[in-house]
Amino acid sequence: MGTPNDRAPLAERVERLLAVQGPLPIVAAGDPVLRAGTEPYDGQLGPELLARFVAALRVTMRAAPGSGWPRRRWGSGCGSR
């Protein structure tokens, strides 16, 4: 599974993730992206894009097996610290 380019701006990476309908792709255990650091969120997404992203995260969480996933699993490179 390819994840969005980690060097692209966060808004661009999120737009690419949202371009596919349905749940976001979930990275499997062992993928190197799960060992990479995250970018602190500091308002890089506009209100509409953030709302769409949160909605997609909810759809993905409900569709995925288990009770949740680490912030890196959906591959945007953003997380809270």
Which residue positions in the chain have pLDDT lower than 50? 1-2, 81
State in Å, rounded, how far the first CA of the chain is from the last one: 26
Q: pTM higher than 0.85 for the full model? A: no
Q: Residue 52's pLDDT is what?
A: 96
Contacts with 24 (C-beta within 8 Å, 6 or more apart), sequence order: 17, 56, 57, 59, 60, 74, 75
State whether the Cα torsion 17-21-24-25 is positive or negative: negative
Alpha carbons 68 and 61: distance in angstroms, whole number:
6
Predicted pLDDT at 45: 94
Give Dmax over CA atoms of the chain in angstroms: 33
